[in-house]
Amino acid sequence: MEILSTDLVYYLLPIIIMVASSRLIIIKNNLDIINKELKQNIKDLQEQLREEALHSDKKITGLINSNVILREENNLLLNKYEGKNISPGNGPLRYKDENGVFYYHGIGHIEKHYRWWKPEKNHAIIEYKDTKKIQFPDWETGNVKEFCNNCIPSQKLNKNRRVKFYYICQGHKIKTH
Ligand SMILES: [Zn+2]
């Protein structure tokens, strides 16, 4: 019996090796296919990321440009006010309405990319009692009366607030010529 079983092993061994190696070839082929797919996926993702980066770069450049234009307009307007004693306040006028008649202090559409943005913050000015907390002097101040002469406290935004107070600029009518 012992001799027979040894013979059987010798007889079967090449078959076992053949089956095993053909399985290995199949597995290797499958892995090659998966590998190829993964490489393609990585390539696609890289391409996608590159496009997205380019797109957001353009967006940021656009926002910076529009901010620069508004700043320039603001300087022109302040120059017009000088000596006339009708200053809208010492804060920068950052936005204007579609007709270019009313100019506004405070937060606006340029800030839409911030997480804290919400529609009720349009034209909002923030007053801090502690001026060390001011991070954005374009729309934050230690003295709202000096910053804007035509604003009212925001009932919506001031709920339970003690550190900062929101005011909404009501607009300043400016004749540009
Ligand atoms: Zn104002």
Where in the chain are the domains? Answer: 1-85, 87-173
| pLDDT above 90 for 138 | yes
pLDDT digit string, tens, across residues 18-36: 888 888 999 999 999 999 9
Contact 170, 102 (CB under 8 A): no
Contact predicate 169/151, CB 8 Å: yes
Partner residues linked to 173 by β-bridges: 102
Q: What does the alpha-carbon distance between residue 21 and residue 17 come to, in Å, rounded to a whole number? A: 6
- Give the Å distance between the CA of 127 and the centre of ligand 1: 13
Higher pLDDT, 152 or 82: 152
Separation of 101 CA from ligand 1 center, angstroms?
13
Output the CA 158–ligand 1 centroid distance in Å.
18
AA letter at 129 = K
Give the Å distance between the CA of 31 and the centre of ligand 1: 66
pLDDT at 48: 92
Question: CB-hemisphere CA count at 13 Å for 168?
Answer: 11
112 and 145 in contact (C-beta within 8 Å)? no
Q: Give the pTM.
A: 0.56
Q: How far apart are CA 46 and CA 59, in angstroms?
A: 20
Numbers of helices and strands, H then E, in the chain: 2, 7
Distance from the alpha carbon of residue 145 to the mean position of ligand 1, in angstroms: 10
Instruction: State the distance from the centre of ligand 1 to the C-alpha of 61, rounded, in angstroms.
Output: 27
Q: In this predicted structure, which of 39-48, 65-74, 81-90, 147-156 has the lowest mean pLDDT?
A: 81-90
What's CA 126's distance to the chain center, in Å? Answer: 21
